[in-house]
Amino acid sequence: SKFIVGLTGGIGSGKTTVANLFAAEGITLVDADIVARDVVAQGSKGLEAIISHFGIEMLTSEGELDRAKLRQRIFSHPEEREWLNQLLHPMIRQEMLAQVEKATSAYVIMVVPLLFENGLDRLVNRTLVVDISPELQISRTTKRDNVDASQVNNIINSQLSRSEKLARADDIIDNHGEISTLKREVLALHQRYLQLSGTHDA
Ligand code: ATP
């Protein structure tokens, strides 16, 4: 099977930016956020199961999953949240691994915002954490999105702490500097991963 690097980091840390630099080297990306949307897309088994369980009111007038409504429902019902996780997590896991097996690059980067939180680090051969300070997470995210600092801070506090992520990382990429520095770091890691995937028994 393929050599998989799990890429993670907190909100606004630079996961997408880093992933795109690996993609520019020809490495296939498997993105957990995209897969999580695909498994509940129109016509999917996931959406069908959600509707049979929660009812047709979970659909928007366009026939898509009403995420806000579903979020609201599970927020006040932990057992329903658990039911949903039991449904979706295996589907997401299976689809991500299917995409990994289809990839033709030397190794694959799996981009997973909550890699450690959701135990997906068990699926990968190596973990890579994008590290930035909470101050920079806040300034870059508020600059990118239409959110205020306290909203970003709440999300930071809901995620695994910076020190815990660093302690669990096999590799760390520092994103306090400029994009040019980041690019050099990615190129060095890319060489390392080519080596590791070459000796990894396929
Ligand atoms: P999220 O988890 O919130 O989706 P992310 O970890 O994917 O975020 P990015 O979207 O890659 O993070 O980066 C957050 C913002 O910071 C983006 O607007 C990005 O362009 C910018 N950014 C990333 N790295 C740098 C850098 N080294 N210098 C300046 N801006 C950066």
| pLDDT one-digit tens code per residue, 102-148 | 999 999 999 999 999 999 999 999 999 999 999 999 999 999 999 99
Write down the pLDDT at residue 201.
74
Cβ of residue 11 lying under 6 Å from some atom of ligand 1: yes
Q: What is the pTM of this model?
A: 0.93
Cβ of residue 9 lying under 6 Å from some atom of ligand 1: yes
- Ligand 1 centroid to residue 121 C-alpha, Å: 22
Does pLDDT of 202 surpass 70?
Answer: no
Q: Whole-angstrom Cα distance, residue 7 to residue 121?
A: 9
Q: What angle do CA 51, 54, 58 make, to 5 degrees?
A: 65
Write down the pLDDT at residue 11.
97
37-94 confidence digits (pLDDT tens): 999 999 999 999 999 999 999 999 999 999 999 999 999 999 999 999 999 999 999 9
Ligand 1 closest atom vs CA 13: 6
What percent of the chain is modeled with pLDDT above 70? 100
Write down the pLDDT at residue 1.
84
Helix ranges (H only) for the chain are 15-24, 32-38, 45-54, 67-75, 78-102, 134-144, 149-158, 162-168, 179-199
Find the mean pLDDT for residues 19-27.
98
Q: Is 31 in contact with 87 (CB distance < 8 Å)?
A: no
Cβ of residue 6 lying under 6 Å from some atom of ligand 1: no
Does pLDDT of 173 surpass 70?
Answer: yes
Q: Whose CA is nearest to atom 8 of ligand 1?
A: 12
Write down the pLDDT at residue 199.
87
Ligand 1 closest atom vs CA 145: 18
Write down the pLDDT at residue 44.
96
- Ligand 1 centroid to residue 146 C-alpha, Å: 14
- Ligand 1 centroid to residue 129 C-alpha, Å: 14
**ipTM of the shown complex:** 0.98
- Ligand 1 centroid to residue 201 C-alpha, Å: 34
